[in-house]
Structure 1
Amino acid sequence: MERNKVLALKEGDYRVFNDVFEAYWNKVYIYLVKKTKNSEVAKDLTQLVFIKLWKYRQTLSDQIGLNEQIFRKTKQIFIDWLRQELRNRNHIMAVDNLPQAGAILANEENLETKRDIYIALQTLPPKRKQIFELKHIHGYSYKEIAAALKISVKTVDNQLTKANLQLRKLLQMSVFTAIGIDIINNVA
């Protein structure tokens, strides 16, 4: 029976895909919620699992159970997400040495970068900024932050994710603006 589903999927049968989606969506979602501790991220990753299942249906094996193949894809997508999160956090970790009030550095480029980061941090909502500073400047764990602020660990994670996204967007705009100004100055 499963072999027939795999073969039908490989041939592009939408009805079988819909049946598989209905049968496995909740299992994949619950697995990813447990792993990510974030329901929104889990929804996005679950959707990605089924997108990739359909997109790469030709690579499915009729020798391996569908459940196993779906969870292999799920685990790979989760690992990819973890790698991306690690890259994002490592990028933000460079902010860890950020001075509280913008101490002056000898190197002018570093001063501009630190200023841009400091300004970007000031745009965060107060609670989000506090959570970000507790994590990335003071080194508190998610649990320690949650306990200190009397909020859930999930709230800490959500706020840090939002802070990272917001800061990344602002800092990218700052970099592109600086590059544009540099190009204009060199042309003129």
Structure 2
Amino acid sequence: MEKINALKTGSDVAFKAVFESSWEKVYRYLVNKTRDADQAKDLTQLVFIKLWTYRISLSDEIPLDTQIFRKTKQVLIDWLRAEMRKREYIFSNSPEATDSSWDQINHQTDITNHLYWAIDKLPPKRKEIFELRHIQGYSYKEIAEKLGISTKTIDSQLVKANIQLRKILQLSIWAAITGSGFLN
């Protein structure tokens, strides 16, 4: 908590201490995910730039390591999205782009759209719990504190969400195979 307060007040010493104690962990995670040491260095630097830039918004109630990891995941997600946009741009401007290449991109887009569509079909509270856990990366304890419910309730809702999503997605796959227009 002291580190967080020191960061919030703009302490260079606190930031340096946090950077030195966390950069290697962040870097290793990003190397593992990107499989590119140079890119991981750039992304690690971006994580700490964002940490400094948005230091005022740090929470006193969530451990600093957790907040750094969330920033790391968000930087990674942003990078992955940008990489996807680059690939789509290159594909769209490449004379070598074939119909089967476009079919593959469209198939991936369809899968993503089906997943978001299925998540939207969850009951509101279950959807909120699912998104907090799997999209925003909150722990069970953090979700429990945020929503004022027990971790057992969270576990139960996530199990139900997974079952419901599996059923919805199986139906949409069946509809796609049979051409029955289930999603329309």
| TM-score, normalised relative to structure 1 | 0.51
**C-alpha separation in 2, matches of 1:5 and 1:16:** 6
In structure 1, what is the equivalent of residue 78 of structure 2?
80
Percent sequence identity is: 55
In structure 1, what is the equivalent of residue 68 of structure 2?
70
Query: How many residue pairs get matched?
Result: 100
Alpha-carbon shift at residue 94 of structure 1 (Å): 1.3
Q: List alignment gaps of at least 5 residues for structure 1.
A: 100-135, 140-188
In structure 1, what is the equivalent of residue 38 of structure 2?
40
Q: Secondary structure at the match of 1:61?
A: coil
Q: How does 1:2-151 map to 2 (within 5 A)?
A: 3-96=1-94, 98=95
Q: Secondary structure at the match of 2:62?
A: coil
- More relative contact order in 1 or in 2 (CA 8 Å, sep 6+)? 1
**C-alpha separation in 1, matches of 2:31 and 2:64:** 21
Aligned residue identity for 1:78 = L
- Give CA-to-partner distance per residue, 1:45-72, whole Å, 9 cap, x none: 0000001100110000010000000000
Alpha-carbon shift at residue 95 of structure 1 (Å): 3.7
- Give CA-to-partner distance per residue, 1:78-111, whole Å, 9 cap, x none: 0000000000000011144x15xxxxxxxxxxxx
**C-alpha separation in 2, matches of 1:95 and 1:12:** 46
Which consecutive segments of 4 or more residues in structure 1 shift more than 3 A? 136-139
**C-alpha separation in 2, matches of 1:9 and 1:62:** 11
Aligned residue identity for 2:43 = L
**C-alpha separation in 2, matches of 1:39 and 1:70:** 19
Alpha-carbon shift at residue 42 of structure 1 (Å): 0.3
**C-alpha separation in 1, matches of 2:44 and 2:66:** 15
**C-alpha separation in 2, matches of 1:86 and 1:46:** 20
| TM-score, normalised relative to structure 2 | 0.52
Q: Secondary structure at the match of 1:44?
A: helix
Q: Which has the larger radius of gyration?
A: 1
**C-alpha separation in 1, matches of 2:18 and 2:66:** 13
